Structure 1
Amino acid sequence: MTILSPLPVDPHAPAAILPDLEAAIAGQACFLPLPLADATRATLLRNTQRAGEPIDPDIALVMSTSGSTGTPKGAQLTPANLVASADATHKVLGGTGQWLLAMPAHHIAGIQVLVRSLVAGVDPLCIDLSEGFDIPTFARAAAELDHTGDRTYTALTPLQLAKAMDSVEGIDALRTFDAILVGGAAINPRLRAAAADLGIAVVATYGSSETAGGCVYDGRPIPGAQVRVQDGRILLGGPTIAHGYRNAPEHKAFREPGWFATSDGGFIDAGTLTVTGRLDNVIDSGGLKLHPEALETEILKVKGVDHACVVGVPHPRLGQAIMAAYTGWADIGDILEALEDAELPRWQIPKDIKRLAEFPTAGPGKIDRRAVARIFGA
């Protein structure tokens, strides 16, 4: 009988879970990664995913979703899911290499850095994230890998990429990598362009716990992965798709065998996927519907805007009023002028705009939209 065992991940020493992870990939055990530094979250996951109880012996890991819209779900990943993802990633990037773990290892993006290292037969280099993402520490680790002479890779969130690009030390470190996978949220187009100009090899990834991590790189599915859009909704298929949810076995997202119906809208043009935004984030203002990500893209074009978040808050007449928050040095007047110049419909102009020192987050690199809405009194 296989039991789902809790696997606390220490941010001081994430590599400590490598033996357990290797056993899981070999089909010898099943684990639920837990954030050791967040006791409340760990307890929630233990309870909702029934840690300590029997589980299908084909499952290697139960990876929790961010839970930003409610109770976290547990994606059930097999050894084949994890290895297929790692192998496909190495094919896209040009071969195996040395990996630097700079993300929490209890999230799928961090776990996959460790899995790719195990599959490649190399020891990953892991940095201590207990005090957050520290650029000098990241730079020292990047230099250490660079001296190996092998291909080197890492994975970051857009927020981490932006922070590293704020200093010469960070830029020099980023340049040493043969590829940097960036996912978890959309990348500011200006940041992406600046990275390219500086010789930083960014690969934008799209995926989730349900797909064993990113399965679409720069809009194209990785080897073996499949993408289609049905009624405006993105569906992902292939060998990396999880075997349903641990705590929601009949969930409609896995209704079609071998496919995962995401909560994202998008379209495919000339074989390239464009993600327009989460379908459950759509704002209904006076009967008119807006994907907040579309307006965020316009705001991000403004010089001096680093990150942006658009939310809808309850309004007695409109149903939802459009509000926007951003970080950076741009003035609110600059943003309003840019939106006017973009000739957006008047109803899409935010009713209020706030500049924040930083955004609240839910999961690695993901802006917590509900927390932002609360800033506006929602």
Structure 2
Amino acid sequence: MTRELWSIDARDPRKVWAALVPALEGTGAAILPHPASPSGLPETVPENVAVVVETSGSTGRPKRVMLSAAALKASATASDELLGGSGHWLLAVPAHYIAGINVLARSHFSATVPVMMKPTGFSAETFVAAVAELKAERRFTSLVPVQLARLLESEDAVAALASFARILVGGQSTPIALLAAARARGLAVTTTYGSSETSGGCVWDGTPLPTAQLRLVDDRIELAGPMLAEGYLDDPRRSAFTFREHDGIRWYRTDDIGEIVDGVLRVRGRADDMIISGGVKVSLAEVETVVRTLPGQSAAVVVAVPHPEWGEAPIVITTSAIELDALRGAVAAQLSAAAAPARVMLIDEIPMLAAGKPDRLALASLVLK
């Protein structure tokens, strides 16, 4: 049995909301929210699929993740348990992000109507105006790190953020300094880890949601639970490789490596970000984390380049000049000599994807020119 699939213009979150509710209730077509007209979209999907989420494709070709209403409800229910019950949600991220879909789905399952910001023109002023529309005392929102950083620059926005019972921050790694600054202002910030394949964040502050499971297989993070996706649309081979059953449990094999310290997950970076430099394993994500703690380097990006002596080496791409020896010393002191960047590349502007993440493919190409 199949179900009709509609592409919905995600530039207007009200259209996504209007189509998502019947999709979740099983009375309407499945939807693929998208900021443009996606190509190659089939007319139907399996009957139990309610939402298809297209990934950003930051490290390769985009994937179309199929989510059931049951998976989104399981995510919402587990989230409510940690949040201490339902509340009024503010949609501040684009409605084609899994985080945005989650805000809408949680609102539906708690029988509330979210306040919806348009994703274009996000600013402290528009955020404060949207917060004023929230009616309930218990209020929640999801942000990406760059939004949180922008809001912390405004006293009015900080006051608005302080009215939230919980602020979820995810979509990418949250800089330690940014998280500390938000919490120092008394903000109830929780970092989330997950993906479209897990109906969004299913690990909060390093701990799985009540119905989620976490394990490491050769340092690779794997996740399980009722919030897992059905697989990838029209891609059975990738689905079979990524979603695997073991001892009766279906696991999602992520592209990330991590470690568990005192019962808390620490994401070390992407598996394909691990390089061998001079015979030593180096995580580009860990190098980037250290670099971003240095003055003026909060937006710096670290990529790998071939090196005639070491095989591969990290280099730092930044818009703010920094002395190489000081940079190498800081990284070597916290990680290892092999992790010390080989050079610094200064550019005018970091290219970004629509999802608000650095375009690492474009940066890697730029370095190799």
TM-score, reference length from structure 2: 0.91
Q: Is 1:284 matched up with 2:283?
A: no
Cα displacement (A) at 1:357: 5.3
Question: Residue 359 of structure 1 aligns with which residue?
Answer: 350
- Letter aligned with residue 48 of structure 2: D
Q: Aligned runs of 1:65-214 on 2, under 5 Å?
A: 65-131=55-121, 133-145=122-134, 148-214=135-201
Question: Residue 311 of structure 1 aligns with which residue?
Answer: 303
Q: Is the 8 A contact 2:22 2:28 kept in 1?
A: yes
Alpha-carbon distance in structure 2 between the residues aligned to 1:169 and 1:283: 43
Alpha-carbon distance in structure 1 between the residues aligned to 2:154 and 2:323: 25
The alpha-carbon distance between structure 1 residues 344 and 226, as it changes in their structure 2 partners (threshold 3 A), is closer
**2:192 partner SS:** strand
**2:133 partner SS:** helix
Alpha-carbon distance in structure 2 between the residues aligned to 1:277 and 1:341: 18
Alpha-carbon distance in structure 1 between the residues aligned to 2:301 and 2:89: 31
Q: Aligned runs of 1:322-333 on 2, under 5 Å?
A: 322-326=314-318, 331-332=322-323
Q: Is 1:229 matched up with 2:229?
A: no
Structure 2: runs of 5+ lacking an equivalent: none
Segment drifting more, 24-33 vs 178-187: 24-33
Question: Residue 202 of structure 2 aligns with which residue?
Answer: 215
Q: Is 1:243 matched up with 2:230?
A: yes
Q: Is 1:347 matched up with 2:346?
A: no
* Structure 1 counterpart of 2:288, from 289, 293, 296: 296
Question: Residue 368 of structure 2 aligns with which residue?
Answer: 377
Cα displacement (A) at 1:346: 3.2
- Letter aligned with residue 248 of structure 1: D
Question: Residue 5 of structure 1 aligns with which residue?
Answer: 5
Q: Is 1:20 matched up with 2:11?
A: no
**1:128 partner SS:** coil
Per-residue deviation, residues 301-330 of structure 1 (Å, max 9, x unmatched)? 223332232111234554333211245x67
Per-residue deviation, residues 32-57 of structure 1 (Å, max 9, x unmatched)? 42423x34xx22xxx1xx421x3211
Cα displacement (A) at 1:70: 2.1
Aligned residue-pair number: 364
Q: Is the 8 A contact 2:258 2:269 kept in 1?
A: yes
- Letter aligned with residue 79 of structure 1: A
Cα displacement (A) at 1:258: 2.0
Alpha-carbon distance in structure 2 between the residues aligned to 1:342 and 1:181: 32
Alpha-carbon distance in structure 1 between the residues aligned to 2:48 and 2:366: 44
Cα displacement (A) at 1:170: 2.5
- Letter aligned with residue 244 of structure 1: G
Question: Residue 64 of structure 1 aligns with which residue?
Answer: 54
Q: Is the 8 A contact 2:20 2:31 kept in 1?
A: no
**1:81 partner SS:** helix
**1:376 partner SS:** helix
The alpha-carbon distance between structure 1 residues 140 and 332, as it changes in their structure 2 partners (threshold 3 A), is farther
**1:306 partner SS:** coil
Cα displacement (A) at 1:150: 2.1
The alpha-carbon distance between structure 1 residues 376 and 116, as it changes in their structure 2 partners (threshold 3 A), is same
Cα displacement (A) at 1:2: 3.0
Return structure 1 stretches of 4+ with deviation > 6 angstroms. Answer: none
The alpha-carbon distance between structure 1 residues 355 and 126, as it changes in their structure 2 partners (threshold 3 A), is farther
Cα displacement (A) at 1:333: 5.7
Structure 1: runs of 5+ lacking an equivalent: none
**2:94 partner SS:** coil
Q: Is 1:336 matched up with 2:335?
A: no
Alpha-carbon distance in structure 2 between the residues aligned to 1:150 and 1:25: 27
**2:49 partner SS:** coil
TM-score, reference length from structure 1: 0.89
- Letter aligned with residue 203 of structure 1: T
Cα displacement (A) at 1:241: 0.6
Cα displacement (A) at 1:6: 2.6
Q: Is the 8 A contact 1:303 1:330 kept in 2?
A: no
Cα displacement (A) at 1:23: 1.3
The alpha-carbon distance between structure 1 residues 4 and 270, as it changes in their structure 2 partners (threshold 3 A), is farther
Q: Is the 8 A contact 1:143 1:176 kept in 2?
A: no
